[in-house]
Amino acid sequence: MAASHLLLLAPGLLLLLLLLPPPPPPHSPQAAAQARVFSVADYGAAGDGSRYDTAAIQAAIDACGAAGGGRVLLPAPGDYLTATVHLRSRVVLEVAPGARLLGGTRQRDYPPESSRWYVVLAENTTGAGVTGGGEINGQGGAFVITPNAQKNIMVSWNVTGDCQGDECRPRLVGFLDSKDVTIHDITLNQPAYWCLHLVRCDNSVIRNVSIYGDFDTPNNDGIDIEGSNNTIITDCHIDTGDDAICPKSGTGPVYNLTATNCWIRTKSSAIKFGSASFFNYERLVFDNITIADSHRGLGIQIRDGGNVSDVVFSNIKMRTRYYDPSWWGRAEPIYITTCPRHAGYKEGTISDVRFINISSVSENGVFLAGSSHGLLRNLKFKNVDLTYKRWTNYTGGLYDYRPGCQEMVKHKTGGMMLEYISGLEIDNVNMRWSKGNLKGWDVNPLLFRPSTVDGLSFHDWKSLDVQ
Ligand SMILES: *[C@@H]1O[C@H](CO)[C@@H](O)[C@H](O)[C@H]1NC(C)=O
Ligand SMILES: *[C@@H]1O[C@H](CO)[C@@H](O)[C@H](O)[C@H]1NC(C)=O
Ligand SMILES: *[C@@H]1O[C@H](CO)[C@@H](O)[C@H](O)[C@H]1NC(C)=O
Ligand SMILES: *[C@@H]1O[C@H](CO)[C@@H](O)[C@H](O)[C@H]1NC(C)=O
Ligand SMILES: *[C@@H]1O[C@H](CO)[C@@H](O)[C@H](O)[C@H]1NC(C)=O
Ligand SMILES: *[C@@H]1O[C@H](CO)[C@@H](O)[C@H](O)[C@H]1NC(C)=O
Ligand SMILES: *[C@@H]1O[C@H](CO)[C@@H](O)[C@H](O)[C@H]1NC(C)=O
Ligand SMILES: *[C@@H]1O[C@H](CO)[C@@H](O)[C@H](O)[C@H]1NC(C)=O
Ligand SMILES: *[C@@H]1O[C@H](CO)[C@@H](O)[C@H](O)[C@H]1NC(C)=O
């Protein structure tokens, strides 16, 4: 009797089960992430690269989020064309090897506010991420109006008035106001604008991420860490046109950023602090980094009154060369500057910066310039090998203070230019002058006006001619 009653009830129960809310999330988010996989194929994604799969991907993300978290799988093979998708807490987007998530190229594919123009956007999330071995592709080529080997002319979506100038294009992946962010084992390819952007995040890991941007496209930064704390970047490969790893303090301070084991090539700065710099930067470490043929190597570019302190650059090999002057940079291996962007702006200071175990081959010298109220304090160079050599035929002989300040100033090129510094320790530093071709150089190892520099200490410093 009981048994047949149950049997009779069974179809109803099944319906009931389907209608029931999902079970409560288990205690550990990690357990949830491993437990549940939501394939976008089950939500109707076509993966044919021409139909938009936005609704299917978003439905899978929302179901995954509602279930307490897990993975949203984009299976291979497949090209999943999408408008902006919004990640949820504890949802990790997993793009399988051989699958691609393609960002839409129409303005209506993105939210109304330009601050939310991302192909993948996580806002106010905890434990969201991106992984999977596949690729997220911004179709940046579709945003080029006129290809130009010096610098491409790009589409601008500035007609709405929501953003201005020619920097009105969607970014690729953004995490805003989020915690416990993980981005690993993924390729981020051809962003239309900035590639990977963390804004006011805390506790983020970016590991084994490959980033490719068009070498001629402006503003396709690699990784921008804005106003975020406790960020680890490791084992990354970045080959792009604009700044590769770029901490910014436009909307908050940057504390505790570590970047290690990376390979970088860019037509701009490999590492660049700023230029947005209203808040402070503290405790940043860059270790074991290879920089190939970039326009600048290690850069700190403070313009808005924020202060920088406690920074280490160690075990870094680099080659820096001139590219077209329409790009910021003049082949400096090390470029540390602070000055007011506009008259009346505050001047930040840059203190306690160490360069340890660095070797460079470069077409320009080291540039260390504070300003009268924003000094560079306590810089230390230890085990640094600087080779100066010319191999392109771009014109040298300019100091580049852009953006703002004195812009471009005609000046002889030397080994190290020093301006507004209080405390510089040189310990085992070799300058090697490759005599073959040094046109445009005043072969002067140090260029400075004594009135702006004090506290210099030299130990084991050599300036040598080499072949
Ligand atoms: C994120 O939080 C901020 C501040 O609480 C709020 O203004 C914004 O609407 C939230 N965004 C989302 C997508 O929940
Ligand atoms: C909009 O972008 C175009 C193309 O880059 C640029 O020429 C123009 O000055 C911009 N207009 C505004 C209002 O920002
Ligand atoms: C790095 O990520 C790629 C996919 O982007 C993957 O094929 C490779 O195995 C990963 N490397 C390591 C060491 O996990
Ligand atoms: C980072 O830490 C600083 C100092 O504690 C704090 O002011 C700031 O709000 C933190 N930012 C985030 C995004 O947690
Ligand atoms: C930075 O890291 C240190 C050491 O791990 C930690 O004590 C401090 O709270 C961190 N700062 C922020 C703002 O999270
Ligand atoms: C330095 O980084 C490279 C990857 O760029 C890696 O292969 C190597 O193992 C790292 N070296 C150390 C000492 O961690
Ligand atoms: C930078 O340091 C100066 C001098 O200590 C201070 O007045 C200023 O407020 C600091 N800037 C920020 C953004 O904290
Ligand atoms: C610099 O290199 C030396 C010699 O290879 C090594 O012993 C030392 O640990 C390195 N310093 C740092 C900060 O990595
Ligand atoms: C620089 O060299 C390249 C290749 O040799 C040549 O095409 C170009 O005209 C030269 N440019 C200048 C400014 O001399």
**pLDDT tens by residue, 360-398:** 999 999 999 999 999 999 999 999 999 999 999 998 888
pLDDT in tens, 218-276: 999 999 999 999 999 999 999 999 999 999 999 999 999 999 999 999 999 999 999 99
Q: How far is the CA of 314 from the centre of ligand 6 (A)?
A: 12
User: How far is it, in rounded angstroms, from Cα 89 to Cα 129?
Assistant: 9
Q: Do the domain assignments include residue 336?
A: yes
State residue 467's pLDDT score.
77
User: How far is it, in rounded angstroms, from Cα 38 to Cα 141?
Assistant: 31
Cα angle 329, 331, 334 (rounded to 5 degrees) comes to 90
State residue 31's pLDDT score.
54
Residue of 184, 185, 189, 210 to test ligand 3 pocket, by largest number of atoms within 8 Å of CB: 185
Encoded amino acid at 304, one letter: D
Confirm or reject: Cβ of 166 under 6 Å from ligand 2.
yes
State residue 29's pLDDT score.
52
Q: How far is the CA of 253 from the centre of ligand 4 (A)?
A: 6
Confirm or reject: Cβ of 156 under 6 Å from ligand 2.
yes
The residues lining ligand 7, judged by C-beta closer than 6 Å to any ligand atom, are 279-280, 305-307, 348-349
Residue 254 in tokens? 């940057």
User: What three-state secondary structure class fits 293?
Assistant: strand
State residue 443's pLDDT score.
73
Mention every residue, 6+ apart, whose C-beta is less than 8 A from residue 354: 311, 312, 313, 314, 379, 380, 381, 382
Confirm or reject: Cβ of 255 under 6 Å from ligand 5.
yes
Full residue range of the structural domain in which residue 436 is found: 243-467
Q: Do the domain assignments include residue 53?
A: no
Q: Do the domain assignments include residue 11?
A: no
Into how many domains does the chain fold? 1
Residue of 118, 125, 177 to test ligand 1 pocket, by largest number of atoms within 8 Å of CB: 177
Residue 315 in tokens? 């075990």
Which residue puts its alpha carbon closest to atom 2 of ligand 3?
A: 185
Q: How far is the CA of 133 from the centre of ligand 3 (A)?
A: 6
Q: Do the domain assignments include residue 217?
A: no
State residue 115's pLDDT score.
97
pLDDT < 70 stretches in the chain:
1-35, 440
Q: What is the mean pLDDT of the chain?
A: 92
Proportion of the chain above pLDDT 70, given as a percent: 92
Stretch (H or E) spanning 432: strand 421-434
State residue 159's pLDDT score.
87
Is-contact 69 23, C-beta < 8 A?
no
User: What three-state secondary structure class fits 264?
Assistant: strand
State residue 2's pLDDT score.
40
Q: Do the domain assignments include residue 72?
A: no
Q: How far is the CA of 226 from the centre of ligand 4 (A)?
A: 11
Q: Do the domain assignments include residue 199?
A: no
Q: How far is the CA of 134 from the centre of ligand 3 (A)?
A: 10
The count of C-alpha atoms lying within 13 angstroms of the C-alpha of 387, restricted to the half-sphere facing its C-beta, is 17
Residue 131 in tokens? 């992984």
Confirm or reject: Cβ of 229 under 6 Å from ligand 4.
yes
Q: How far is the CA of 124 from the centre of ligand 1 (A)?
A: 6
State residue 19's pLDDT score.
44
Q: Do the domain assignments include residue 226?
A: no
Confirm or reject: Cβ of 133 under 6 Å from ligand 3.
yes
Q: How far is the CA of 278 from the centre of ligand 4 (A)?
A: 14
Strand 144-146 versus strand 153-154 pairing type? antiparallel
Positive or negative CA dihedral for 288, 289, 292, 298?
Answer: negative
pTM of the model: 0.93
Backbone angles phi, psi at 34, to 5 degrees: -80, -30
Q: Do the domain assignments include residue 427?
A: yes
